[in-house]
Amino acid sequence: MVRLRHLWLALALWGAVHPMAHLLTWFRDEGVSPDGLFAAWTQNAAVRGLSWDLMISAVVLTLWILAEVAVRRNCWALLAIPATFCIGLSCGLPLYLWFRSRPV
């Protein structure tokens, strides 16, 4: 279980760094513009579908975290919520699994 726990943390770090590198490249090329970023998220049907998929999954993860924190009282797991919405689902989900897999 310890190896799996280390894997969750490594995936959370990768999920933070790799997508952020692409986002920072986009900001460098296009400028820091929330309107431009929103326009990119809604550029065509494929991108809109992917954007909605990620947003819905982030909401589902948030509800799951809140439900489990209420039962397990693992308040540190709440840190995965801002990680999900500020960094991305690719960071927030493995981060939550890392918090959840700690020995009780």
d(CA 102, CA 4): 10
Neighbours of 7 (CB within 10 A): 14
Mean pLDDT of 72-92: 95
pTM for the whole thing? Answer: 0.88
pLDDT reported for residue 36: 85
| pLDDT of 67 strictly over 90 | yes
Q: Between 23 and 10, where is the model more confident?
A: 10
pLDDT, tens only, 20-38: 999 899 889 988 888 888 8
pLDDT band at 3 (very low <50, low <70, confident <90, very high): very high
